[in-house]
Amino acid sequence: MVTMKKIILIIMIIPIISFTQTTSQEGDLPFSEITDYPNEFSQSNIVSRMIEGLGYRYYWATKSLNENDLNYKPSDDSRTTFEVIKHIHELTIMISSSFENKIVDLPAEQYDYKSLREKTLLNLKYIHDELKSTPDFSKLSISFKRGDSTMSFPFWNQINGPISDALWHCGQVVMNRRASGNPLQKGVNVFIGKTSN
């Protein structure tokens, strides 16, 4: 009889431990909310705020997606939600390259949904922090390798390129998850940058 009680106790405790670990891991990820705005307008404050807005949108757009959501695509010739999330991750690598003086090099390794989400949020946090400490954006560029030549563009192209593209695709994830039956959590307020229960 003692053995049966232990088994029942273990069965009851495992989901609690699992929930606690998930909540704790989730709580460690950046951009669950947007910080208070800075007192002054500067190039670094403005662009880092854009990244914070992107991070907040991405955090909530990609939170609690299930297999059905990740495999959803609105038409045969469109990307699945998982492929869109992967593309957003690639865009954050492109943006990060400006601060590392590296030619854009997209990784070949494959990640699962949770790893991809975490890596993307951490990339955005890195970008946000680098922007806050960069006094002169004119020294930043984005470079691509095309055959034997390298093409470089000023940071302006990051704004209308990968940053804007990532915002666009966050909206696509929100639309896809609504269509797959798992709409965005209620209370997410992108204007305020806070989420109410």
186: in domain: yes
160: in domain: yes
| Residues spanned by the domain of 157 | 48-195
pLDDT of residue 107: 83
Q: Is the pLDDT of residue 24 over 60?
A: no
pLDDT of residue 17: 44
99: in domain: yes
pLDDT in tens, 26-36: 668 999 999 99
134: in domain: yes
CATH value at residue 118 = 1.20.120.450
116 touches 61 (CB < 8 A): no
State how far the Cα of 126 lies from the Cα of 99, in Å rounded to an integer. Answer: 9
145: in domain: yes
Over range 146-170, report the average pLDDT: 95
pLDDT in tens, 62-73: 999 999 999 999
Q: Give the model's confidence band at 2: pLDDT under 50 very low, under 70 low, under 90 confident, else very high.
A: low
pLDDT of residue 6: 57
Flag whether the pTM goes above 0.95. Answer: no
Encode 24-88 in three state secondary structure: HHHHCCCCCCCCCCCCCCCHHHHHHHHHHHHHHHHHHHCCCCCHHHHHCCCCCCCCCHHHHHHHH
Tokens 């975490």, residue located: 118
pLDDT over 90 percentage in the chain: 79
Q: How many domains does the chain have?
A: 1
Backbone angles phi, psi at 45, to 5 degrees: -65, -40
| Segment holding 176, helix H or strand E | helix 164-179
106: in domain: yes
37: in domain: no
125: in domain: yes
